Structure 1
Amino acid sequence: MVGVYGNLPYSRIETAHTGTIIYPTGGKYGPRIQDDMQLVLLHSGEMTIEIDGNEHMIPAGSAVVLKPGHEEMFTFSSRGETWHRWISIHMGKLTASELNPYEALPLFQPISEELNRITDIMLSLQLNHPSNSEVLRSLGMSALLLYISEVTRTREQEDMHPSIQLAKNFIHSTFHEELDLSVLASKAGVSPEHLIRLFRNHDRTTPIKYLWRYRVLKALEFLTHTGLTITEISLRCGFKSSFHFARTVKQHTGQTPTEVRQSSWRGNKAE
């Protein structure tokens, strides 16, 4: 699958950067003309994208690929906040022959753990590396190639195992509640043992590890983009206590919640 798209040369990448934002209820963005190859990771809420006059409803838990030259308008959930992250790869003006193969890619597919990790790494590294650095350009291209390589696997997953997506959608909407394996399996319509096998086979993780990973991602968003206290964030994201929150964030990021927040503030001031 990747080889089909090899005509988009790495040497043409000028910059790559990533970002994260929470839109308020009923938020809108655009219209705009897309300049970059861009991946948008919709973690929670809802998003409708109007592309060249055609509306597309994007469910939470989806990664979206956007291509240059299209007019876009974004409308976010009317029922609550919407959180997404993105990776943009700027290559200047691309020819029709370079872009045509990418038009055949599906507009969106489920976010993989690997794509989440690349986004995490880019968010961390861009505090100290410019957007035209080789490390960020390489990671940006890797994220795009990863999206492409997962297209076939994602289609197979959706055809064979809709229970995975049911479980993930339920996690994305109720991550702040007390959840366990039996509840997730019930919502997915399979036994707990079967759900574990599905996650291990297709995502190389377990349903509970996926849940805690998602809670950490959401908590990091609150830490870096809101003034909520650590106690408030821990409660909003389903942690048992502030101590449990701090320990879990440290395990996943190597930093305490306070250090994460301080790093974000330093990065914002530097910009």
Structure 2
Amino acid sequence: MSQGLPYDKITSAYAGTIVYPPKGTYGPRMQQDLQLVLLHTGELELTIDGSRHAVKPGQAVLLKPQHQEYFAFAETQESWHRWITLDLASLTDEEQDYLDKLPFSMPIPEALNTMTDMMLALQNDYLRQDELMRSLGYSAFQMFTARISLTKQQELHPSVVAALGYIRQHYMEDIALHDLAGAAGVSPEHLVRLFHVHHQMTPIRYLWQYRVLKATELLSQSGLSVGEIAARCGFKTAFHLSRLVKEQTGSTPSDIRKAAWGTAN
């Protein structure tokens, strides 16, 4: 997922919230950025390049650059939505193609709600170009794409599903490629090929991304030390955890914890 849109393409990130009155409209506009829209109440009919999409409360949608949009909200009630916008540097054709292939909508994950809360709370103290805001916005995008991939598991090859299940049950242990292949019932070489087809990465890279995800959850939701979290999530050392978290999220463990606990200054 992070290979499709590198972190360094995010030039700024910010969040917003607005309530539209009945029969409210917005647009037409040409979408310039990458935007996650979370509809909480009311309804939204979103027209993109002439194609209409009905968005119901509780859905998050991903709006992609270089598409024309028009918003028409519920006729008889107020509609409340929030959003996270990622301003992007110039994209390659491959990166634009990656974004265009991502699904349009999904149920709002609670973690995405929390991330939006966090960005709204912090942006009075941080510029949208600051690394903390950029990394939070990028993490929200990764949450969306990661959750989409989980909801599509029924479409995956059975061996990939088995390997993913093994990773989620044993990520805190010392896992090698042959362990995953054994759980999946295929050769290591075949499992690597399957992961490249379904996830555009190796099984071991997926494992480390999953460990980073679990580590960031513990950083945000627990008082455990970085060393304790490293041991619980399969990292060799606290330094190893810190390095991979920084590489994948753009934030240090300390940044993530401060943002989650509301102690950033």
TM-score (norm 2): 0.56
**Which runs of no fewer than 5 residues in structure 2 stay unpaired?**
155-260
| Residues 38 and 83 in structure 2, CA contact (< 8 A), matched pair in contact too | yes
Match of 2:24 in 1: 27
The Cα of 1:104 is off from its aligned counterpart by 1.7
1:106 aligned residue (100, 103, 106): 103
- SS of the aligned residue for 2:62 comes to strand
**In the alignment, which residue of structure 2 is the partner of 1:57?**
54
2: CA distance, partners of 1:156 / 1:60: 24
Q: 1:126 aligns with which of 109, 123, 136?
A: 123
Hey, what's the Cα distance between the residues in 2 that align with 1:51 and 1:40?
Answer: 14
Asked if structure 1 preserves the Cα contact closer than 8 Å seen for 2:9 and 2:90, the reply is: no
Tell me the distance in 2 between the aligned counterparts of 1:156 and 1:58: 23
- Runs ≥4 residues deviating over 6 A: none
Q: Which residue of 2 aligns with 1:40?
A: 37
Cα displacement (A) at 1:155: 4.4
Q: What does 1:1-271 correspond to in 2, within 5 Å?
A: 2=1, 5-155=2-152
1:112-150 CA-to-partner distances (Å, cap 9, x unmatched) read 110000000000000100000000000000000110000
Instruction: Name the CA distance, whole Å, in 1 between partners of 2:151 and 2:38.
Output: 15
* 2:65 counterpart SS class: coil
Post-superposition Cα deviations, 1:37-58, rounded to whole Å, max 9, x if no partner, equal: 1000001100011100111111
- Aligned-partner residue type, residue 19 of structure 2: I
**8 Å contact 1:63–1:110 — kept in the other structure?**
yes
Secondary structure of the 2:149 match is helix
Cα-to-partner distance string for 1:191-230 (whole Å, 9 max, x where unaligned): xxxxxxxxxxxxxxxxxxxxxxxxxxxxxxxxxxxxxxxx
Counterpart of 2:16 in structure 1: which amino acid? G
Match in the other structure for 2:249: none
Taking the aligned partners of 1:16 and 1:95, their CA distance within structure 2 comes to: 20
Counterpart-to-counterpart distance in 1, 2:35 and 2:83: 7
Tell me the CA shift for residue 156 of structure 1: 5.9
- The one-letter amino acid paired with 1:67 is K
**TM-score, normalised to structure 1's length?**
0.55
Aligned residue type for 1:82: S
Distance in 2, matches of 1:48 and 1:156, equals 28
SS of residue paired to 1:136: helix
Does the aligned pair in 1 maintain the 2:42–2:74 contact within 8 Å? yes
Unaligned runs of 5+ in 1: 158-252, 255-271
